[in-house]
Amino acid sequence: MFRRSIAFSFLDKSTGFVLALVTMAVVSRLMTPSEVGLFVVASSLVILLEAVRDFGVAAFLIQAKELQPELVRSAVTLIGLISLTLGLFIVLGADLAARLYGMSELADLIRIAALAFLVAPLSNPLLALLRRDMNFAAVARISVAAALANALVTIGLAMLGYGAFSFAWGSVVAACVMAAGALICRPEWWIFRPTLRHWRTLLPFGAWTTVVTLLGMLFDAMPRLILGKVLGFNAVGLFTRAVSLSQMPDKLFLSAVQPVVLPAFSSQVRSNQGLAGHYLHGIALITVLQWPALICLALLADPIVRLLLGPQWLGVIPLVRVVAIAAMVLAPVFLTFPVLVAMNRVRDLALISLLALPVSMLIVLVASRFGLQAVAWAMIPANAVYIGMTLICIHRAVQFAWKDLAVIVSRSAVVTLCTGLVPGALVLAFGAELSWPVTILGAVGAAVGWGASLAMTSHPLASEMSRLPMPRLLARGVRRRGGIGIP
């Protein structure tokens, strides 16, 4: 069940990744960095309120030991009331945000993005129930349809010259498609009958979960908001594109895992099973997928930026090299929230975030005075502060051994080093601006180094890959031909 859910989740996230990549490649050639930066600031402000709007309802519905009908209805009523209140707050506060950044268009962008608040209360609870039931096939269909709608609307409006508003309307249409798909796949209208009978049960969990989610989003949006005020929207656009490229491995490999992990971990906790072994195994798989991809991105940044973004974004290249390395520090973050929520220790994570965020914000704020490149370098210590504190928190919760974590991380580090050998050698020999034949050679060499080092280090991912259907089918075919079977 878990691997099947992972497969559907991977189909969902990989399709969304491809559509987002195509959208980014097309739109980057139609818009300036300033236009992209304008939308990023608007969406960042709205997304911060999005964390409050959800109030942890989705996570609560997934991890709750028992779901009584009135409890579900109370959760849905609560999220509806909060959504309407925050939607009104956004509409009324849009002009203030526009004056703060000195850009009148920002107010209209914020108001358009706020339209998604009207439909989110329909989709979020139903999607949470689908995930609780591990019905990721339905979730995948809904998400792919929404991503396709987003891509078509954004690209179409960008070609018509709507600029930053293309992104805003694309996100609104995607939210509407998501709500319609959730109602079609799980048409349980009874959950929308209002009641607040169990609000006392929801309040503590929702409050702490909201704090954690809000602080996490603020940690992600912090550099963009600071840069928009200190260095302008052009800097925000460049930095955002660098971050988007560094997040490609996460969206391709890791985003499929995260939606499945919380229901799976919650199920194990309900069965009184420990999570230490599962957590370490997850860290092993995450680091061996993310780190090699990021090191290749850092080494091959020049040809990748030229291919995906075009010549007007060449200022992103030096940023990508640093931001990709900084993203490697964040590898454990993908399991932090699912583990602590499953163990009902989300309050601990909230306290850690409250301690780490001011330190990280101060680091970035000081660095912004020295330019965009300094902000990129500042992300390394900023990320390290946050991850260091969360690892201590998780260690207390699941009681894993630090020695075991060190062994796992060292194996992934060896695989990462072997993956980067050929691309690194080519960069040293020919310079950072590689031709396409040399770039392709570097990519092939990286893939060979990754595969060979997996076997050399006996990495846990090697055994996971041997369980996939394709290797077994290949082995069966070889045996039928009388050859040497794959063990």
Contacts of 11 (CB under 8 A, 6+ apart): 140, 144, 256
Closest CA to 113 of 45, 172, 27, 187: 172
More confident call, 47 vs 479 = 47
Q: What is the pLDDT of residues 80-98, one digit of tens each?
A: 888 888 778 888 888 888 8
Check residue 48 and give its pLDDT: 64
- 359-371, pLDDT tens digit by residue? 888 888 888 888 8
- The predicted structure's pLDDT at residue 2: 53
280 or 262, which is more confident? 280
What CA–CA distance (Å, rounded) separates 456 from 25?
37
- Give the confidence band of 4 by pLDDT, cuts at 50, 70, 90: low
How does DSSP classify residue 311? G
Burial of 258 from C-beta contacts in 10 A (0-12 / 13-18 / 19+): middle
Nearest one of 326, 310, 313, 388 to 356, comparing CA atoms: 388
> How far, in Å, CA of 465 to CA of 100, rounded?
52
Answer whether 87's CB lies under 8 Å from 117's CB: yes
User: In this model, does residue 32 exceed pLDDT 70?
Assistant: yes
Q: Which of 8-17, 41-50, 188-197 has the lowest mean pLDDT?
A: 41-50
In this structure, of 143-157, 229-243, 253-267, the range with the lowest mean pLDDT score is 253-267
Residue 308 has pLDDT above 80, yes or no: yes
Q: Which of 328, 460, 334 is nearest to 394 (CA)?
A: 334
Task: Label residues 82-97 b or e (16+ Cβ within 10 Å = b).
Answer: bbeebbeebeebbeeb
The overall average pLDDT reported for the chain is: 81
Paired tokens of 430: 């020919």
Least confident interval from 53-57, 177-181, 287-291, 476-480: 476-480
User: Which token pair is 370?
Assistant: 């020295």
Worst-scoring range by mean pLDDT, 192-196, 264-268, 435-439? 264-268
Read off the pLDDT of residues 330-363 as tens digits, 9 standing for 90 and up. Answer: 888 888 877 887 777 877 877 887 888 788 888 8
**Looking at per-residue confidence, does 297 or 485 come out higher?**
297
pLDDT band (50, 70, 90) for residue 477:
very low
Does position 464 have pLDDT exceeding 70, yes or no? no
* Spans of all domains in the chain: 1-197, 208-468
Give pLDDT, residue 233: 77
